[in-house]
């Protein structure tokens, strides 16, 4: 079966140890998490966890069912690529030893609709937000300029329209 990257949206209880339980379950099943982002939701008792990993379709759906059996997981769902807005943030540090290199780096940042957030005598840091493919393309281009280091947040995602993972009371919504 064909493997591809899946984005899983989850609502979990906002308490210590939940990330460990979810990631440990994936580890036990032999999956490498490509990215994970976790943060508070509109409800203080819950956190949204967005996880990406590679698998085939059947395995991804089975992992979601197993994830939902964990006590601290309120809801988990494979997010449909065409019905989901997914973004990632990256900070990219570039070496800029002279004015030409600095100018090239700033021009590349502008082309990618990113922004320079820090400047020193020989480096600058670019903040870029977008799809993982967009960030990958910028990083690849930056290698030619003098890539120093990269820090990425991992994907965060929401379904378009009124689709939600859970209502206020924890009831699953829309599938």
Just give the CATH number of 4-79.
Answer: 3.30.70.260
Contact in structure between 151 and 129 (CB atoms under 8 Å): no
pLDDT of 79 higher than 60: yes
At 43, the pLDDT band (50, 70, 90 cuts) reads confident
Q: Per residue in 110-148, is it b (16+ CB within 10 Å) or e — as a string?
A: eebebeeeeeeeebbbbebebebebbeebeebbeebbee
Same fold, 4-79 and 86-152: yes
Q: What is the pLDDT of residue 171?
A: 55
Residues 38, 42, 45, 47, Cα dihedral to 10°: -10
At 81, the pLDDT band (50, 70, 90 cuts) reads confident
Just give the CATH number of 86-152.
Answer: 3.30.70.1150
> pTM for the complete prediction?
0.82
Q: Smallest Cα–Cα separation from 43: which of 170, 159, 160? A: 170
Crossing angle (nearest 10°) for helices 18-28 and 57-68? 140
Q: What is the pLDDT of residue 21?
A: 93
Q: Per residue in 37-53, is it b (16+ CB within 10 Å) or e — as a string?
A: bbeeeebeebbbbbbbb
pLDDT of 1 higher than 90: no
Q: Smallest Cα–Cα separation from 109: which of 125, 89, 96? A: 125
Contact in structure between 3 and 53 (CB atoms under 8 Å): no
At 135, the pLDDT band (50, 70, 90 cuts) reads very high
At 131, the pLDDT band (50, 70, 90 cuts) reads very high
pLDDT of 166 higher than 80: no
- What does pLDDT average to over the chain? 90
pLDDT tens for each residue of 89-105: 999 999 999 999 999 99
Q: What is the pLDDT of residue 163?
A: 79
Domain ranges in the chain are 4-79, 86-152
């Amino acid at each position: 079966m064909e493997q591809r990257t899946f984005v899983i949206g989850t609502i979990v209880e906002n308490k210590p140890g939940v990330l460990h339980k979810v990631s440990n379950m994936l580890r036990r099943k032999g999956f490498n998490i490509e990215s994970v982002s976790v943060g508070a939701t509109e409800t203080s008792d819950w956190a949204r966890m967005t996880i990406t990993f590679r698998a085939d379709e059947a395995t991804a759906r089975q992992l979601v069912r197993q994830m939902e059996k964990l006590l601290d997981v309120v809801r988990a769902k494979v997010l449909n690529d065409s019905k989901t807005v997914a973004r990632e943030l990256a900070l990219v540090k570039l070496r800029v030893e002279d004015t030409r290199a600095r100018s090239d780096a700033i021009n590349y940042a502008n082309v990618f609709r990113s922004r320079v957030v820090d400047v020193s005598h020989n480096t600058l840091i670019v903040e870029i937000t977008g799809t993982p493919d967009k960030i990958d393309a910028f990083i690849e281009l930056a290698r030619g300029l003098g890539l120093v280091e990269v820090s990425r947040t991992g994907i965060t995602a929401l379904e378009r329209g009124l689709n939600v993972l859970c209502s206020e009371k924890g009831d699953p919504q829309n599938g």
